[in-house]
Amino acid sequence: MQSQYHPRDIEPAVQKEWADSGAFHAPDGSDKPKYYCVSMLPYPSGKLHMGHVRNYTINDALYHYLRMKGMNVLFPMGWDAFGLPAENAAMANKVAPAKWTRDNIAYMKQQCQAMGWAIDWTREVATCDPSYYRWNQWFFLRLWEKGLVYKKSGMVNWDPVDMTVLANEQVIDGRGWRTGALVEKREIPMWYMRITDYADELLGSLDGLGWPEQVKQMQRNWIGRSEGVEFVLPYAPQTARRMNDAKAGLKVFTTRADTIMGITFAAVAAEHPLASEAANGNPRLAEFIEECKRGGVQEAELATMEKKGMPTGLFVLHPITREPVEVWVGNYVLMGYGEGAVMAVPGHDERDFAFATKYGLPIKQVIGWEGTHGSGKPYSTDAWQPWYAEHGINVHSGASFPALDGLGFGAAIAAVVAKLGELGIEAKTRVTYRLRDWGISRQRYWGTPIPIIQCPECGDVGVPDEQLPVVLPEGLVPDGTGSPLAKTPSFYECKCPKCGGAAKRDTDTMDTFVDSSWYFMRYACPDAGAMVDERAQYWMPLDMYIGGIEHAILHLLYARFWTKAMRDLGLVDVDEPFTNLLTQGMVLNHIFSRRTGKGGIEYFAPDEVEVTHDAEGKVAGARLRGDGSAVDYDGIGTMSKSKRNGVDPQDMIDRYGADTARFYVMQANPPTDTMIWSDASVEGSFRFLRGLWKTVHDHVAAGVIAPYGSPSSLGQGRGEGQLSPQLKALRLKLHRTIEKVGDDYGRRLQFNTAIAAVRELLNLRDDLKDASPLARAVSQEALEGAILLLAPIVPHICTALWAELRPGTKLIDQPWPQVDKSALVQDEIELVVQVNGKLRGHVRVSSSATGEVIEATALADESVQKYLNGQKPRKVIVVPGRLVNIVV
């Protein structure tokens, strides 16, 4: 055996052995139970980053652990290969996105192999391959046939200089990232998927999932089911004339119909037809509506901007009092939500209150809380208080509806609905969702072409199945203006499949969330001649899905919807794709930047700067190592190429080997926690592995021996009593550690504590100076155990060390170690003694001692006597196996 640890020799050799034997190929059927363990597929951005290393090492550790536990485990890998960064790279380097993407995939695949992850590469999928995306197209057409796909207009960010649609990411401070032009909202026709048809099921079936509660809560809130009332505010006569419809009115939806008597105005979105009509002949209003259309479409931007409004001069009637109510245009009313119009009750809605205060509109209290929520909830129109929005008892309803006074929330709503009915105003209780239908059209090149042909005669016609896939031409290089496909006649010119006349293909591509909504099913059958086949039925659903917390809502929700839609088309027989979910925390790093002269921004890598700290030890600023010039500290954020704060795992592999990189990310903190990068302790991880190598080397140098407890061991047939207390303690530690590490890997999914436990075990073994055959047999047992427990984290070194400890056997064939229950038995245990909840001493008692005996022992303890000072204790609390608390 080599006396030194040389990962550069070991790792490639072990990897070759795995590859040659097809060790990680999972058959599509087995006597063993299946375990399907998938990580979110990477975007091939160029190189692996630390987030990937973390993600796939977690997946790999679970793979090895469950394989050792006797399961047929599958760990597949693929590439989320369509998307915006490829187009950006293409513009920057004048390379076609296809080439850039495929080169990146090749490089990153080799990096995955160097990390030694147990990936079944026979199932690799890249979403940019026509053999994959043809099924996006095929499925799109099936959903269209079922009415689950439809076309309507949608709002996008528009760059008026480049004449192109911008992604939210490309809008910086309200301006286009390349042109600096002020971004505008623009309505264009887009294809939508009816995810809202599945809203109730998406909500209901969350309950049974083995997901983190916080993620389920985020999804529940995102879907945002609410029950409310939809009704019409009748137009005042003059408004009815202007809107050219005497009978109609302004349709609104509210979850607070109980506050209807508090309506003092109504508000509509800038895009609402009533706003457009009111703007005719009102230049100031027209200007305001134009102003509302400026800016982008991001919700965070809309929700934080100053609430502004302007009266339209048009009135609707309060449905009960028949008093005129003025309609305002408000920039906070969104056309996409509900009806694009709201009844405003400033007395009991915080946004309406702020708006009314700003524009001097009346505020009316119609809900009170005395007697229901206790006192101390006064009402004043001077300032908003949080309880104004709480449910309560109706008050001040007025002469037209006195019966409403005194009713509570539910009864009041019922009364309002009944009253509106009596007055001949249609009012329906309705369930609405915050969730909106999924717009999938993108005016971009590097994505799945939408399989629709626009015929001047026949309208939108689906591409016939036999003409699929609609292949994306791969040689194009985008230039940032408009959509490349829309400028490529050879792509869009075609014949109508229905009438044979000249027609035009849809030049939009699909949202890349489509690609990632079902790839995990394609892994099961990457060569299938259909979207999926029966092999998907064997592997689905995923037993564990691992990925970043940043995907908690959108990706996971779309994939759940897609799976349910596939089920309803009879393609797969599962209700939910991901039985269990592990959301890993992000890997973050410090960000340093400097504004350049032209208003741009320049980023610096953390290793290029020297950080300065303030008095509290927080980072205050930094200087460039090169010339000492000051740079700004921008705080901590996601590792990204653009911010230059990423860490390339390749350096670590080159210097220390893959096992050190794997060990480092797993020992640092729990997988669900955010990890702020620090390379300070990477060295320590390497030292541990080097020490482990030396420990096994020294043991093997003295000769391997059958481990204690095995049939041929010295310990066989001898009683436990013959072990010295030290050897007994070591065996106790070993078997406790086996229990703990199994629990950490299998149930807790917490690897840092498992590693700490194995370190403790090895530290205890190192203290052993006894070189007798019996001691060496216990030592052998402990070392074998430690190697098996670490194997899921650092499989290369463990494979090499196992071959030394057990010549002729292979680590990959070993099962998870068994806990020897007899090693766990203890005669005596130590208990903590507290006086008034403070630690004052320890007592040793028999492990079978009763509460009375424990109490007596504790009271007799010297340190307790000191605090008792002759008094009788008021109370004694005995927690079996843990502590005694004496209250004086």
Alpha helices (runs of H) in 554-599, residue ranges in sequence order: 554-568
Closest separation in Å from C-beta 293 to RNA: 16
Quick check: 873 binds RNA (CB under 7 A)? no
Strand locations in 656-724 (E): 675-676
Closest separation in Å from C-beta 362 to RNA: 24
Which residues, 526 to 565, sit near RNA by CB under 7 A? Answer: 549-555
Q: Which stretch binds RNA (CB under 7 A): 24-32, 434-442, 533-541, 800-808?
A: 434-442
Q: Single out the residue of 46, 180, 311, 439 in contact with RNA (rule: CB under 7 A).
A: 439
Q: Single out the residue of 7, 85, 392, 577 in contact with RNA (rule: CB under 7 A).
A: 85
CB 669 within 8 A of CB 58: no
Which residues, 338 to 367, sit near RNA by CB under 7 A? Answer: none
Quick check: 284 binds RNA (CB under 7 A)? no
Neighbours of 188 (CB within 10 A): 13
Quick check: 84 binds RNA (CB under 7 A)? yes
Q: Which stretch binds RNA (CB under 7 A): 163-171, 248-256, 407-415, 724-732?
A: 163-171
Measured in degrees and rounded to the nearest 5, phi and psi for residue 65 equal -60, -50
Which residues, 598 to 617, sit near RNA by CB under 7 A? Answer: 617
| Tokens found for residue 870 | 């002759």
Quick check: 511 binds RNA (CB under 7 A)? yes
CB 468 within 8 A of CB 449: no
Q: Single out the residue of 193, 476, 588, 705 in contact with RNA (rule: CB under 7 A).
A: 588
Quick check: 872 binds RNA (CB under 7 A)? no
Rounded Cα distance between 345 and 577, Å, is 43
DSSP tag of 819? P
Q: Which stretch binds RNA (CB under 7 A): 252-260, 408-416, 424-432, 874-882?
A: 874-882
Quick check: 169 binds RNA (CB under 7 A)? yes
DSSP tag of 821? G
Which residues, 181 to 200, sit near RNA by CB under 7 A? Answer: 188, 190
Closest separation in Å from C-beta 556 to RNA: 10
H or E segment to which residue 845 belongs: strand 838-846
Rounded Cα distance between 389 and 849, Å, is 58
Q: Please, which residues have CB within 8 angstroms of residue 391's CB and are 6 or more apart in sequence? A: 258, 367, 408, 409
Q: Which stretch binds RNA (CB under 7 A): 315-323, 485-493, 716-724, 827-835?
A: 827-835
CB 405 within 8 A of CB 445: no
x/- track of binding to RNA for residues 676-695 (CB under 7 A): x-x-xx-xx--xx-xx----
Quick check: 154 binds RNA (CB under 7 A)? yes
Measured in degrees and rounded to the nearest 5, phi and psi for residue 60 equal -65, -40
Q: Single out the residue of 297, 571, 658, 854 in contact with RNA (rule: CB under 7 A).
A: 297
Q: By rule CB under 7 A, what count of residues binds RNA?
A: 102
Give the up-direction half-sphere exposure of residue 588: CA atoms within 13 A in the CB hemisphere. Answer: 16
Closest separation in Å from C-beta 823 to RNA: 18
Quick check: 887 binds RNA (CB under 7 A)? yes
Q: Single out the residue of 601, 702, 860, 877 in contact with RNA (rule: CB under 7 A).
A: 877
Which residues, 619 to 658, sit near RNA by CB under 7 A? Answer: 635-638
Q: Please, which residues have CB within 8 angstroms of residue 283's CB and are 6 or more apart in sequence? A: none
x/- track of binding to RNA for residues 444-473 (CB under 7 A): x-----------------------------
CB 202 within 8 A of CB 225: no
Quick check: 668 binds RNA (CB under 7 A)? yes
Closest separation in Å from C-beta 147 to RNA: 19
Quick check: 580 binds RNA (CB under 7 A)? no
Q: Which stretch binds RNA (CB under 7 A): 5-13, 164-172, 468-476, 799-807?
A: 164-172
221 versus 722: smaller Cβ distance to RNA:
221
Q: Residue 567's closest CA among 142, 199, 222, 204? A: 142
End-to-end CA distance of the chain: 63
106 versus 887: smaller Cβ distance to RNA:
887
x/- track of binding to RNA for residues 301-340 (CB under 7 A): --xx------------------------------------
Q: Over 763-799, what HEC string results?
A: HHHHCCCCCCHHHHHHHHHHHHHHHHHHCCCCHHHHH
| Tokens found for residue 416 | 């309002």
Rounded Cα distance between 777 and 783, Å, is 10
Strand locations in 318-440 (E): 324-330, 341-344, 367-368, 393-394, 427-433, 438-439
Quick check: 832 binds RNA (CB under 7 A)? yes
Q: How far is CA 848 from CA 223, 340, 820, 879, in A?
A: 54, 71, 20, 14
H or E segment to which residue 186 belongs: strand 184-193
Q: Single out the residue of 153, 226, 763, 822 in contact with RNA (rule: CB under 7 A).
A: 763
Which residues, 766 to 805, sit near RNA by CB under 7 A? Answer: 766
Q: Single out the residue of 134, 522, 735, 840 in contact with RNA (rule: CB under 7 A).
A: 840
